Amino acid sequence: MSDQRTIIITGCSSGIGAYCARALKADGWRVFATVRKFDDLAPLEADGIEAFRMDYTSSDSIADFVRDVTRAGNGRIDALFNNGAYGQPGAVEDLTTDVLREQFETNFFGWHELTRQIIPMMRKRGQGRIVQCSSILGVVPYRFRGAYTASKFALEGLSITMRMELEGSGIHVSLIEPGPITSRFVATSLLKINEHIDLRGSAHATEYRRQLARLDGSGGPNRHKLGPDAVYDVLKHALNARRPRPHYPVTRPAKQGILLKKLLPADLFYRLIRRFD
């Protein structure tokens, strides 16, 4: 069997996944990247990446992918980077339960379903890395991001539990918690808010207008925004370090948010972060 390490990365059509797939390939990994759309396969394949289609909302799609990637990797998967996700904005009272469920299907249940099917391959070899792309919103809640915040809080709880349960198995679990990163994330969030939230009929209509005016659809102005290479820096540590950390915050706002949450009384902290949404 070749010595080349293999990694699955989901959500590689853009942003963090697209960047990390190429960077890992350049660093010598054999990369199995997933996308949802047929047209997104070719750009990855052109860069020597083995690309597959997989949609977290479909159990069949996950099972088909696991079958194909098991075959491609000859049963060897060294690492899994769960990354593909989106953010559904909107006040909690404006979210239908179906829209909330949809958010969890992609950001939470799909990740669990895929991970469960990969762990046996890692257990057989007595080693593996599972890296979950969480968010600062998995640690610090933001107004009007309840669906996304809840999905990432749930992910944090599940992943850290899994980390403790897998202790001694050779499989390590880490969470990456980025703040603002350049990607298609904000553009997709704008589509989702317009698709699913009654912006005019809401009690929060004025607030929605203010927030939408602030965003320009290309990622929104934010002087603390970093490129996806900042995520790659910590991903490398989670994949290579002898003792990978449980949490990897990325960007200054993420690190500050986590520190303030530790230091400040809860009520004061929640009043303070209201100013940053």
Ligand X SMILES: NC(=O)c1ccc[n+]([C@@H]2O[C@H](COP(=O)([O-])OP(=O)(O)OC[C@H]3O[C@@H](n4cnc5c(N)ncnc54)[C@H](OP(=O)(O)O)[C@@H]3O)[C@@H](O)[C@H]2O)c1
Query: How many residues at the interface with ligand X, by CB under 6 A?
Result: 27
Residue 148 among the catalytic residues = yes
Q: Which of 244, 253 has the CB closer to ligand X? A: 253
Q: Which of 12, 147 has the CB closer to ligand X? A: 12
Examine residue 17 and tell whether it contacts ligand X (CB under 6 A): yes
Min dist CB 170 to ligand X, Å, is 25
User: For residue 125, which amino acid is it?
Assistant: R
- Which H or E run includes 211? helix 205-214
Examine residue 66 and tell whether it contacts ligand X (CB under 6 A): no
CA 215/CA 18 separation, integer angstroms: 23
Stretch binding ligand X (CB under 6 A), from 4-12, 66-74, 237-245, 259-267 = 4-12
Examine residue 83 and tell whether it contacts ligand X (CB under 6 A): yes
For 196-211, letters b (16+ CB in 10 Å) and e give bbeeeeeebeeebeeb
Q: Which of 15, 90, 146, 249 binds ligand X (CB under 6 A)?
A: 15
Q: Catalytic pick from 56, 148, 232, 248?
A: 148
CA 236/CA 97 separation, integer angstroms: 37
Length of the chain: 277
Examine residue 89 and tell whether it contacts ligand X (CB under 6 A): no
- Distance between terminal CA atoms of the chain? 50
Estimate to the nearest angstrom the gap between the alpha carbon of 247 and the chain centroid. Answer: 13
- Which H or E run includes 66? helix 59-72
Examine residue 13 and tell whether it contacts ligand X (CB under 6 A): yes
Could you say which DSSP state residue 274 is in? Answer: G
Q: Which of 5, 11, 147, 230 binds ligand X (CB under 6 A)?
A: 11
CA 41/CA 12 separation, integer angstroms: 9
Examine residue 180 and tell whether it contacts ligand X (CB under 6 A): yes
Q: Which of 158, 202 has the CB closer to ligand X? A: 158
Q: Which of 6, 88, 103, 106 binds ligand X (CB under 6 A)?
A: 106
Identify how many contiguous H helices and E strands the chain contains and give both numbers.
11, 7
Examine residue 104 and tell whether it contacts ligand X (CB under 6 A): no
Beta-strand relationship, 171-178 and 128-133:
parallel
Q: Which of 10, 115, 149, 174 binds ligand X (CB under 6 A)?
A: 10
Q: Which of 1, 28, 37, 242 binds ligand X (CB under 6 A)?
A: 37
Examine residue 14 and tell whether it contacts ligand X (CB under 6 A): yes
- Which H or E run includes 51? strand 50-53
Examine residue 55 and tell whether it contacts ligand X (CB under 6 A): yes
Q: DSSP of 5-39, one letter per residue? A: -EEEE---SSHHHHHHHHHHHHTT-EEEEEESSGG
Q: Which of 10, 159 has the CB closer to ligand X? A: 10
Examine residue 249 and tell whether it contacts ligand X (CB under 6 A): no
Q: Which residues carry out catalysis? A: 148
In the complex, the residues that contact ligand X under the rule CB under 6 A are: 10-17, 36-37, 55-57, 83-86, 106, 133, 135, 178, 180-181, 183-185, 188
